[in-house]
Structure 1
Amino acid sequence: MKKTLITLAVLAAATGVAQAQSSVVIYGTVDAGFVSERGGVNGNVNKLDSGIASASRIGFKGTEDLGSGLSALFVLESGFGVDNGQQDVAGTLFNRQAYVGLSSKTTGTLTLGRQYTPWYNTLSKVADPFAAGYAGSAKNLFPANTRTSNTVLYTSPNFNGFDADVAYTFGENAESNKIGRKIGASAGYSNGPLNARIAYNNTSNDTALTETGSGRNWLAAANYDFAVAKAYVAYGVNKGQNSAIRNNGNVNAFDYTSAGFSTDSTTALIGATVPVGPAGTVMASIIHVNDKNSANADANQFSLGYSYALSKRTSTYASYAKISNKNNAGYTVGNNSNVGTGDKAFNVGVRHSF
């Protein structure tokens, strides 16, 4: 009996140690609201939409302490529509993120799988006061370059506010690894009220028959918190074929044939967030696309939004954005998860995170 009690005590202690060294968390976001879109070829569109402010998702993430400052980690994340209960991408399970890796406190983190690009993290976390969501999403006019599969991503440790990352996406084509290859990197500084970052993205356009160069994107972004307001500024340069694909792709959303994708353009943003009372936030931005090709298909977006935190996990929101397309530019007002159908949109909804 005594030996049995000792054995049980040892097993209980060992189990406690194992639990302290590893953890798995289930998390997610449920976001839905009413969307009213105007100005498109289909006329006025009113609908219940999902993922307006933040994409609706469920995810699993975990870490295991391997000792000596080294740990293993993984993330598996699936997107879905609250309005219909369907997966974002039919036939896929973890369509948003799916990666595994190792992290060292002294040498950085290496992850492998499907994950966000350095470019998109800079756009959504540093450049955009709408955090790539709501009607005012910067994805409406900026190249998104959101996620890539078959990607190796290295992120450095933070050195007195400085950090950097670099990503390589394998083309996995038998003819040439350049086909479908992507390369990305970013570097930044974050300390106190200042957050600044530069990012680069390179997408190969090569095919099995031809070598056609690449689409290249540069982005410089910063925000500064003045306490009474946080100011945002960003400037992007887009060069080469497929460097400035519209968020709505090749869809001709208006009663004209949209201009072709620019191979030489710049995109600029200025914006702000302003706290209102203990739980409210006003968001605003102006974005300008300058197409330097002969089509001169420029565009401007004006956006205004408001979010109110009902608790740490739940908020309500309303936002409005309008795009002025010039010379058949063809941009549409979308949100975090959908590209939109017209040049104006209003949405109001609720978001809960767990």
Structure 2
Amino acid sequence: MKETRALSAIVLGCMSSLALAQNAPGSSSVTMYGLVDIGYTHVTGGTGGTLNSITSGNMEGSRLGFKGDENLGGGYRAIFTMESRLEADTGGLSNRPPSLGRLPDRLSSATSLGLPSALQPVVSAVAAQIGNSVGVNLGNSFFDRQIFTGLVTPFGAFTVGRQYTPGYLATAGFDVMKTESSLALGQLVAIPASFDIRVSNSLQYGLQIDGLRATAMYAAGEVAGRATARRLLGVMAMYTGSGYSVGGGYNTRNNELGEKSLTTAIVGATVDIGPGTLHGQYATIKDDHPTDLSTIATSLAGNPATAPVAGLVQNAFIRGFRQDARLFQVGYRITTGPHTVAVAYNNMNDRRPFNADRYSYGAAYTYALSKRTDVSAVLTHLENKNTSQDSLGGNGYIGGVAATPGKDVNSLSLSIRHRF
């Protein structure tokens, strides 16, 4: 019989499996681990012009975590993970983009949303309210990155809590940058977000059989009276062979009304060519019923001055935040001794009337000073087209919006990263 092993969530940015323990039943262990990533970032083209800053999370988000493992005997183990986000530049738990709560002009301009210009004050007020939610862990949850517990069994692992979604595990597994830095594919789809990275209240099943790794997830929305509201379903499967890997993932989430909202599907592959590895992936993004916009009309109806246009404004924002896009990445990665070099090209094709297409390309270099410490340099160019107004951030923070629609953005980051 083939050996079956459980698949855990991402640890230090990489998918890993939990092998069956070899220690005696009753034995247990608790491990503290972490990562500190901090450096200098120079960005041109963003809101406010050129920005020079000290940033945490250029390559990977800084964190502190704890993992536990107890052998229950008979091939069963109890496990847990608790992982907190840290901002190495401030000591905080959350961050906001350099553009703060500003939305792209196509989502904050009355005329761009198809409304009369006379409604711009109302649109600006609603856009500001939506923009207040733009950032990372703005609620300052201590274990925002992940917190779960579960059982590893001879036929797979069952975990419950806040976890990485299957769709995100798939795109991270094929990303030539492993989601690191401004050169990662996800940098093109931050506002509005096109991937559900983590989800709370989730139950996940994972397994590994030889080269096959797979997960399936159900996350409860926990909305009273609406069993399907905010619910997320996801699956992922990846097969790794000799010199290649192939697979895909799928997430679909409902909005607060129970309507089908953000849905992402990813396929990808890697193949060893020459001294390195060629990476490629393709993703579809669809959202016809954006989440958390159904209360706009209610909030405006309470004011006699805005009540007559409440429904009109809400419908305009719903149309504006709909998503229909195609993502593509191709890249090449070489590691030789302490040196790692990666190049990538990322493309986002916006199929909505906004036609906010964008693409990025660049190179990253990492030098390992030791097994735990490395230094990196990443140079990325982002080309915004038409109404696109994206900017560049890092693995641990959102870049925000560019100065104007169609404005190109350049990013140079120099970082040091230490794992413990």
Please indicate, yes or no, whether the TM-score normalized by the shorter chain is above 0.5: yes
Q: How far does the alpha carbon of each residue in 1:144-187 deviate from its partner, in whole angstroms, 9 at most, with x for none?
A: 3210010101102x223123111111000102022111111111
Aligned pair 1:161/2:211, yes or no?
yes
Q: Distance in 1 between matches of 2:226 and 2:26?
A: 46
Q: How far does the alpha carbon of each residue in 1:291-348 deviate from its partner, in whole angstroms, 9 at most, with x for none?
A: 1222222111112110011111100000011211111122221110111144221100
Q: CA deviation at 1:19?
A: 9.6
Q: Distance in 2 between matches of 1:230 and 1:201?
A: 27
Aligned pair 1:267/2:327, yes or no?
yes
Q: CA deviation at 1:78?
A: 0.4
Match for 1:233: what amino acid?
G
1:216 is paired with a residue of what secondary structure? strand
Match for 2:287: what amino acid?
G
Match for 2:205: what amino acid?
Y
Distance 1:91 1:54, change over 3 A: closer
Q: CA deviation at 1:261?
A: 4.0
Match for 1:200: what amino acid?
Y
Q: Which runs of 5+ in 1 are unaligned?
A: 1-16, 245-258
Contact 1:281 1:308 in 2 (8 A): yes
Deviates more, 1:85-94 or 1:48-57: 85-94
The correspondence for 1:172, drawn from 222, 230, 237, is: 222
Count the aligned residue pairs: 317
Q: CA deviation at 1:20?
A: 7.2
Q: Which runs of 5+ in 2 are unaligned?
A: 1-22, 95-136, 292-318, 403-408
Q: How far does the alpha carbon of each residue in 1:90-139 deviate from its partner, in whole angstroms, 9 at most, with x for none?
A: 542211111000001x2100000001111111111x22111111121221
Aligned pair 1:336/2:395, yes or no?
yes
Q: Distance in 1 between matches of 2:269 and 2:415?
A: 28
> What does residue 116 of structure 1 align with?
164
Q: How does 1:213-232 map to 2 (within 5 A)?
A: 213-226=260-273, 228-232=275-279
Q: Distance in 2 between matches of 1:87 and 1:112?
A: 23
1:120 is paired with a residue of what secondary structure? helix
> What does residue 10 of structure 1 align with?
none
1:163 is paired with a residue of what secondary structure? strand
Match for 2:199: what amino acid?
T
> What does residue 362 of structure 2 align with?
303
Q: Distance in 2 between matches of 1:84 and 1:55?
A: 13
Q: CA deviation at 1:243?
A: 7.8
Q: CA deviation at 1:141?
A: 1.8
Aligned pair 1:151/2:157, yes or no?
no
CA RMSD of aligned residues (A): 2.0
Q: Distance in 2 between matches of 1:309 and 1:344?
A: 25
> What does residue 67 of structure 1 align with?
73
> What does residue 142 of structure 2 align with?
93
Q: How does 1:196-215 map to 2 (within 5 A)?
A: 196-207=246-257, 212-215=259-262
Q: How does 1:271-290 map to 2 (within 5 A)?
A: 271-275=331-335, 277-290=336-349
Q: Distance in 2 between matches of 1:194 and 1:46?
A: 40
Q: Distance in 2 between matches of 1:94 and 1:227?
A: 41
Match for 1:194: what amino acid?
Y
Distance 1:333 1:243, change over 3 A: farther
Contact 2:260 2:289 in 1 (8 A): no
Q: Distance in 1 between matches of 2:346 and 2:330?
A: 7
Q: How far does the alpha carbon of each residue in 1:249-276 deviate from its partner, in whole angstroms, 9 at most, with x for none?
A: xxxxxxxxxx94453211111001123x
1:40 is paired with a residue of what secondary structure? coil
Q: CA deviation at 1:227?
A: 5.3
1:168 is paired with a residue of what secondary structure? strand
Contact 1:195 1:224 in 2 (8 A): yes
> What does residue 251 of structure 1 align with?
none
Q: Distance in 1 between matches of 2:240 and 2:419?
A: 26
Contact 2:26 2:72 in 1 (8 A): no
Q: Distance in 2 between matches of 1:321 and 1:68?
A: 51
> What does residue 249 of structure 1 align with?
none
1:173 is paired with a residue of what secondary structure? coil
Q: How does 1:122-137 map to 2 (within 5 A)?
A: 122-124=170-172, 126-137=173-184
Name segments (4+ residues, structure 1) moved above 4 Å. Answer: 17-20
Q: Distance in 2 between matches of 1:35 and 1:45?
A: 8
Deviates more, 1:137-146 or 1:316-325: 137-146
Percent same amino acid at aligned positions? Answer: 31
